[in-house]
Amino acid sequence: MLGYDALFINPIDDARLIRIAAEEGRVIVSSDRGIFERRPLKSGRVKGVYVDVRQKPLGQLKEILKSFGDGESRPFVRCIRCNTLLIPKSHEEARGRIPPRVYESVREYDYCPRCDQFFWQGDHVKRMREVIEKL
């Protein structure tokens, strides 16, 4: 939702997760305190953010964003299903691919080439923007 390039694999062995993070330059976000005791994270070679699962989700998200800084957030540029960057599509390109009532009222769309799915900024996006503003 916030536009970060995210990868989610569960379950995954700690060593494999650390290896992927190191190879791809990713930050590990985890509630597993044990992983932060591993040498690559303790040394700072691999970055990590601890998330306290006792916090409400909004509080967890605030902690994550505090670690990244808000300069990198670009909401709604990635598919919320598969993380692929979305491509802007015209009104005409969406014809027949979205509900008729949406086609009548919305003019701009984004498309995920991996999921073959169209997205538009409806009420659900308005609600997500309200959450983002609370951050």
Task: Report the SS3 class of residue 88.
Answer: strand
Tens digits of per-residue pLDDT, 11-43?
999 999 999 999 999 999 999 999 999 999 999
Residue count (the chain): 135
Q: How many whole angstroms from its chain centre is CA 58? A: 14
Q: What are the tens digits of pLDDT across the range 103-134?
A: 999 999 999 999 999 999 999 899 999 988 88
